[in-house]
């Protein structure tokens, strides 16, 4: 990860170190560090971009007395986990001034594997999709400042926001994800929610979502949006209401209809949202917690059956909310709803794009261009439209580009001579061979 951490003693010269080695830091280690008497300054790649994978793990400390820390894998790992996470709990005693930073690519990948395992045992795909959507869906494109603009910033982890009526039941999603968050503290909550949602769609048989990561977390509950930014299921004029809410997020009619297709997964429970039956023949045996009313028969399978079922409205056991029904009533929505009912491929394509766009709403990315953890379309250099809803820091300034060029050239690279990734390894091998030859022929 492209961060340089500057550690400086705060009021005491002694750095309170966690207890002696084990393979990875324990929660108590983390707590010790969180309350530690250090102030850490994290210079993200936005201000200090990395140039090669070898430089990613390089940390510099402002005091030479801390240099030794780097040599301890355990300690440096501890710092990596903590500083990269952005999940920094500034101590109530005022210790630590830490700016938020984003996620670690390797930890993102590992967290994704753990989410897949969780899905296999808990069948919580729908809940995780709803979690991602509700964190992102508070975005207001008319507010420029982050995090006031809302969106995918992890603010939904705070009780104040979880208690919004629209979020009823989502505390269960957080409980399911918390062990993964604890294991991978180098993944921000904002990323974890979106990673979980996209993985759930994909694992349920849905399309591959062209995701990027690196979302910065809000740091305190005061940064949560006010209640009422998410849509109601039964407003007086559903089409107007959907447009009002989704246009505010910068989404259009096509995206409203495609994203409504998220209801191909899951159930509604009267004890949570007030909508749906307590149970139906499709939900009474689970999987997962039994009960609720689903929109589709196979409510853990991501396909286009939501559109087919809403259109037919034939099965009393399947749910149709007023905001679902309207996608076949409003003339503009209907064009897309009809298309998706006929053509699953078209639905998957539009859904994947809309989901990725939704997942980026309001997010502040660090690095600004985001982190791609697999070969998704955006990883192949395709220009991703949703970038304009991100941090607004997409382009590096000219002076920053010059600095990068200078650093690159200083370590042997040039525009016409790309730096070999095994540059340092080659030097080490050359020295080793020389040493061997010297010892052979020297005797
Ligand atoms: C169009 C406006 C929307 C409205 C009015 C709406 C409303 C609702 C309601 C009332 C529930 C039931 C919650 C409960 O009782 O547990 C629900 C569940 C759900 N929603 Fe939406 N939703 C909307 C859009 C979306 C979008 C855009 C997505 C994702 C792309 C989505 C994904 C889900 C999922 C997956 C569930 C099932 C959760 C579970 O089974 O635990 N919804 N929604």
Alpha-carbon gap, residue 215 to 218, rounded angstroms: 10
Query: Which residue's CA is the nearest one to ligand 1's atom 14?
Result: 268
Q: What is residue 389's three-state secondary structure?
A: helix
Q: Which of the pair, 3 or 334, is modelled with greater confidence?
A: 334
Selection from 190-204, 367-381, 398-412, 418-432 with the highest mean pLDDT:
190-204
Place of tokens 């918390």: 178
What pLDDT band is residue 374 in, cutting at 50, 70 and 90?
A: confident
| Residue count (the chain) | 443
**Site of tokens 């820091």:** 393
Q: Using the atom order of ligand 1, give the atom closest to the CA of residue 292.
A: 15
Residue 44's pLDDT is 31
Structural element, H or E, at residue 41: strand 38-43
Nearest CA to ligand 1 atom 6: 233
116-136 per-position pLDDT tens digit: 999 999 999 999 999 999 999
What are 232's two structure tokens?
Answer: 């109601």
Find the 110 Cα to ligand 1 centroid distance in Å. 28
Q: How far apart are CA 373 and CA 112, in angstroms?
A: 10
Stretch 177-205: mean pLDDT, rounded? 98
- What is the rounded distance in angstroms from the CA atom of residue 18 to the CA atom of residue 36? 10
Contacts of 263 (CB under 8 A, 6+ apart): 295, 296, 306, 319, 321, 324
H or E element in which residue 4 lies: strand 4-9
Kindly state if the Cβ of 378 falls inside 6 Å of ligand 1. no
C-beta 149 within 6 A of ligand 1: no
Confidence band (pLDDT; 50, 70, 90) for 385? very low
Distance, in Å, from the CA atom of 379 to the CA atom of 279, rounded to the nearest integer, reads 43
Residue % of the chain over a pLDDT of 70: 65
Q: What gap in Å lies between CA 27 and CA 169, rounded to an integer?
A: 27
Question: Rounded CA gap, 118 and 298, in Å?
Answer: 19
Active site residues: 134
Q: What is the per-residue pLDDT across 394-443, written as a single tens digit (0 to 9) for each?
A: 444 444 556 666 665 666 655 445 445 556 677 788 888 888 888 887 65
Out of 35-39, 72-76, 241-245, the most confident range is 241-245
Q: Integer distance in angstroms from the first to the last C-alpha of the chain?
A: 46
Atom of ligand 1 nearest to the CA of 324: 1
Distance from residue 130's CA to the centre of ligand 1 (Å):
6
Which pTM does this prediction carry?
0.69
Q: What Cα–Cα distance (Å) separates residue 314 from each residue in 46, 159, 230, 338?
A: 54, 39, 29, 17
- What backbone torsions phi and psi does residue 8 show, to the nearest 5 degrees? -130, 140
DSSP annotation string for 83-120 = HHH------TT-----------HHHHHHHHHHHHHHHH
**Cβ(272) – ligand 1 distance below 6 Å:** yes
Ligand 1 contacts CB of residue 172 (under 6 A) = no
Phi-psi domain of 94 (left: phi exceeds 0; alpha: psi -120 through 50; beta: other): left
Counting ligand 1 atoms within 8 A of each CB, the residue from 168, 263, 289 with the most, and so the one to mutate, is 263
Q: Report pLDDT for 412.
A: 62
Ligand 1 neighbour 129 (Cβ under 6 A):
yes
Cβ of 273 less than 6 Å from ligand 1: yes
Ligand 1 centroid to 321 CA: how many Å?
A: 10
Q: What is the pLDDT of residues 228-269, one digit of tens each?
A: 999 999 999 999 999 999 999 999 999 999 999 999 999 999
- What is the distance in A from the centroid of ligand 1 to the CA of 28? 37
* CA of 263 relative to ligand 1 center, distance in Å: 6
d(CA 36, CA 230): 39
User: Ligand 1 in contact with 130 (CB < 6 A)?
Assistant: yes
């Amino acid at each position: 990860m492209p961060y340089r951490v500057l550690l400086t003693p705060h009021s005491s010269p002694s750095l309170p170190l966690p207890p002696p080695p084990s393979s990875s830091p324990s929660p108590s280690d983390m707590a010790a560090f969180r309350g530690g008497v250090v102030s850490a300054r994290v210079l993200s790649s936005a201000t200090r971009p990395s140039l090669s994978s070898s430089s990613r793990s390089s940390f510099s400390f402002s005091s030479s007395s801390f240099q030794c820390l780097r040599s301890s894998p355990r300690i440096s790992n501890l710092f990596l986990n903590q500083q990269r996470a952005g999940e920094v709990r500034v101590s109530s005693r005022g210790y630590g001034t830490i700016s938020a930073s984003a996620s670690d690519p390797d930890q993102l990948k590992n967290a994704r594997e753990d989410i897949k395992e969780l899905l296999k045992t808990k069948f919580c795909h729908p809940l995780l999709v709803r979690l991602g959507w509700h964190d992102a869906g508070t975005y207001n494109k008319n507010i420029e400042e982050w995090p006031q603009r809302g969106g995918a910033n992890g603010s939904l982890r705070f009780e104040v926001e979880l208690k919004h009526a629209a979020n009823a039941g989502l505390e269960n999603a957080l409980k399911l994800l918390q062990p993964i968050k604890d294991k991978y503290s180098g993944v921000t909550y904002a990323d974890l929610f979106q990673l979980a949602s996209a993985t759930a769609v994909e694992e349920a048989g849905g399309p591959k979502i062209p995701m990027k990561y690196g979302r910065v977390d809000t740091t305190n509950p005061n940064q949560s949006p006010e209640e009422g930014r998410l849509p109601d299921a039964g407003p007086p004029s559903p089409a107007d209401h959907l447009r009002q809410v989704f246009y505010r997020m910068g989404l259009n009619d096509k995206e409203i209809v495609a994203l409504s297709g998220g209801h191909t997964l899951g159930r509604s429970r009267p004890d949570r949202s007030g909508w749906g039956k307590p149970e139906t023949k499709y939900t009474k045996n689970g999987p997962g917690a039994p009960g609720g009313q689903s929109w589709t028969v196979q409510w853990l399978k991501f396909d286009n059956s939501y559109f087919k079922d809403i259109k037919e409205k034939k099965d009393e056991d399947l749910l149709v909310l007023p905001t679902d029904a309207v996608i076949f009533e409003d003339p503009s929505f209907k064009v897309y709803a009809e298309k998706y009912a006929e053509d699953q491929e078209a639905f998957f394509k539009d859904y994947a794009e809309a989901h990725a766009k939704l997942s980026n709403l309001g997010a502040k990315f660090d690095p600004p261009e985001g982190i791609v953890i697999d070969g998704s379309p955006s990883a192949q250099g395709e220009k991703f439209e949703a970038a304009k809803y991100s941090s607004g820091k997409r382009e590096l300034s000219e002076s920053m580009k010059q600095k990068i060029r200078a650093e690159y050239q200083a370590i042997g690279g040039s525009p016409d001579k790309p730096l070999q990734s095994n540059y340092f390894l080659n030097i080490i091998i050359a020295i080793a061979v020389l040493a061997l030859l010297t010892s052979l022929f020297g005797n």
